[in-house]
């Protein structure tokens, strides 16, 4: 093949190549003078980007600012902004004042004593109360009592007092059956650590026929009691309980005045309580004794009679409230002498009566074991039963009875907690809503606190209560109920058609409405 033919074939091959694959020769090969040197390498391109000019902001000088600030326009603007600021501030202040003025003022809390804030718990027989059968055993149970939110323990009587034996009476010596002075002081210390007060029952002849022996002995006994009161108060007790106060107050009024002064004139900030006990059953007699004896609280049989109707109970409460402040009233059914709640009202009505005592206006007082429906057997001082759900039980009946006691205690604890923290239940107004021979309902309310309606049916048939009052809403919520099937907690019910089964009670709550 000739050289000319070879050259032609190479030219064709170059022409057939894609434009992108053909070698770049710059423009020098074609005589292009676009390149400054005419020797640029294949694929190399130089681009010259002009430098940007940066402008520096210096702002106004001090002299320029002062000049501008003094112009009329800026002066008017500043004054306008200042006036707007103060107008806005004054508007907010006026709004706050208007809210404060228009808001309803809270009522002042009434003067109350420590015993008005929760239930008192009577332990009339120390030996029956604990496994240790003495005062140390009571101390060991303080934590359990604290869980019930009790505010005071009424202990004894525990002093030496042989049956109807005035000569051997010794107020200042603890019976060996109950323990000793060191144990008693230990109990006081333990109770105080849990904010529980200790009241000592010093009824003179507590095992005999009459609490103050015969009338001819009252003066002698009252004189001896005075020195004993000083002794026990110095040991740290927070109050004294005495049965048969009407006798000593009427027979030796001057000595009774001394007894009152010793107990009630405590140091400032340490108010001590004097509790009287009477067998009088009527509201009129209880009211007269409260006035004549001057005791702080009076335990009585005002709610004890089984023949009382719901109307009778409503009248009793209303009569006492009409003559006395609720801080002076105590509500009890059982006691050391009369026995336990379960025996007096029936086991199935214990929770019912717990609710009654813990929601009435006044101080509720219970006998030991009332929280578990402990019943009297051959004695008014049955052995206390201590249970826990963790205990193993092999006997089905025993296990069921234990669960019933635990449930009863839980019911009591729930009510006692409400009584201790809700102002409407602590010191709220008492407003009757309904009463008949078998049913009773009332409202407890205080200022802007939550309100409570308590309703009870003693009858053997269900009743429908049509509750109406200007302070009542259409509905309320169940807080605690003895009938957890038809009136389960947190259920909303209509107050105009409140159905209560036979022997049932319910505590309802609704909020304050402005």
- 447 CB contacts (<8 Å, ≥6 apart)? 106, 107, 423, 512
What is the pLDDT, as a whole number, of residue 394? 62
What is the pLDDT, as a whole number, of residue 374? 97
* Cβ–Cβ under 8 Å, residues 208 and 217: no
Domain-wise residue ranges, the chain: 120-425, 429-510
What is the pLDDT, as a whole number, of residue 248? 96
Task: Specify which residues 275 forms β-bridges with.
Answer: 241, 297
CATH fold for domain 429-510: Immunoglobulin-like (2.60.40)
Phi-psi region of 165 (alpha: psi -120 to 50; beta: other; left: phi over 0): beta
Task: Specify which residues 199 forms β-bridges with.
Answer: 154, 239
**Residue 244 three-state SS:** coil
Q: Where are the alpha helices (DSSP H) in 174-305?
A: 181-193, 218-234, 245-251, 253-264, 283-293
pTM here is 0.81
Q: Could you give phi then psi for residue 302, rounded to 5 degrees?
A: -60, -30
Q: Cα 392 vs. chain centroid, distance in angstroms?
A: 32
Q: Is the peptide bond before 157 cis (omega within 30 degrees of 0)?
A: yes
**Residue 421 three-state SS:** helix
* Cβ–Cβ under 8 Å, residues 408 and 371: yes
Q: Where are the alpha helices (DSSP H) in 18-71?
A: 62-69
What is the pLDDT, as a whole number, of residue 377? 87
Mean pLDDT (10-residue bins), the chain, 514 residues = 46 45 44 44 53 62 75 84 92 87 78 96 96 96 97 98 96 97 98 98 96 94 97 97 97 97 82 96 96 98 94 97 97 95 97 98 98 94 84 76 95 98 97 97 96 98 97 97 96 97 98 88
Top-level class of domain 120-425:
alpha beta
* Cβ–Cβ under 8 Å, residues 256 and 292: no
What is the pLDDT, as a whole number, of residue 392? 61
- 220 CB contacts (<8 Å, ≥6 apart)? 166
Phi-psi region of 166 (alpha: psi -120 to 50; beta: other; left: phi over 0): alpha
233/374 Cα distance (integer angstroms): 32
26/48 Cα distance (integer angstroms): 18
Phi-psi region of 456 (alpha: psi -120 to 50; beta: other; left: phi over 0): beta
Q: Which residue is it, tokens 């609710």?
A: 355
What is the pLDDT, as a whole number, of residue 66? 75
């Amino acid at each position: 093949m000739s050289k000319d033919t070879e050259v032609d074939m190479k030219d064709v091959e170059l022409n057939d190549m894609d434009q992108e694959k053909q070698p770049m020769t710059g423009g020098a090969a074609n005589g292009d003078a676009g390149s400054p040197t005419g020797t640029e390498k294949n694929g190399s391109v130089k681009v010259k980007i002009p430098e940007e000019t940066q402008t520096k902001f210096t702002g106004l000088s001090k002299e320029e600012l002062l000049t501008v600030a003094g112009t009329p326009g800026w002066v008017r603007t500043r004054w306008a902004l200042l006036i707007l600021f103060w107008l806005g501030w004054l508007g907010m202040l006026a709004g706050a004042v208007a809210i404060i003025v228009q808001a309803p003022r809270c009522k002042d809390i009434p003067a109350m004593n420590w015993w008005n804030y929760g239930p008192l718990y009577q332990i009339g027989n120390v030996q029956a109360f604990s496994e240790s059968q003495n005062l140390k055993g009571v101390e060991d149970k303080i934590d359990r009592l604290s869980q019930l939110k009790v505010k005071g323990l009424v202990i004894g009587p525990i002093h030496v007092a042989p049956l109807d034996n005035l000569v051997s009476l010794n107020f200042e010596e603890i019976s060996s059956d109950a323990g000793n002075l060191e144990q008693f002081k230990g109990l006081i210390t333990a109770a105080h650590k849990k904010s529980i007060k200790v009241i000592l029952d010093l009824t003179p002849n507590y095992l005999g026929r009459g609490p103050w022996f015969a009338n001819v002995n009252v003066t002698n006994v009252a004189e001896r009691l005075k020195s004993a009161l000083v002794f026990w108060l110095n040991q740290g007790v927070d109050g004294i309980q005495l049965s048969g106060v009407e006798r000593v107050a009427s027979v030796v009024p001057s000595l009774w005045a001394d007894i009152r002064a010793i107990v009630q004139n405590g140091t400032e900030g340490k108010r001590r309580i004097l509790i009287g006990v009477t067998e009088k059953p009527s509201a009129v007699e209880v009211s007269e004794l409260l006035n004549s004896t001057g005791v702080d609280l009076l335990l009585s049989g005002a709610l004890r009679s089984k023949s009382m109707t719901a109307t009778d109970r409503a009248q009793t409460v209303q009569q006492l409230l009409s003559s006395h402040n609720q801080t002076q009233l105590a509500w009890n059914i059982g006691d050391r002498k009369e026995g336990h709640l379960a025996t007096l009202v029936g086991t199935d009505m214990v929770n019912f009566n717990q609710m009654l005592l813990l929601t009435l206006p006044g101080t509720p007082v219970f006998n030991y074991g009332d929280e578990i429906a402990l019943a009297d057997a051959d004695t008014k001082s049955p052995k206390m039963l201590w249970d826990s759900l963790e205990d193993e039980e092999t006997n089905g009946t025993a296990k069921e009875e234990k669960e019933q006691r635990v449930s009863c205690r839980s019911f009591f604890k729930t009510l006692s907690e409400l009584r201790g923290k809700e102002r409407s239940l602590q010191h709220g107004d008492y407003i009757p809503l309904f009463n008949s021979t078998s049913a009773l309902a009332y409202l407890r309310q205080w200022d802007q606190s939550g309100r409570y309606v308590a309703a009870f049916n003693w009858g053997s048939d269900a009743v429908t209560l049509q509750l109406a009052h200007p302070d009542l809403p259409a509905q309320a919520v169940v807080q605690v109920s003895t009938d957890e099937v038809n009136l389960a907690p947190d259920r909303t019910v209509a107050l105009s058609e409140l159905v209560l089964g036979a022997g049932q009670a319910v505590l309802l709550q609704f909020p304050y409405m402005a």
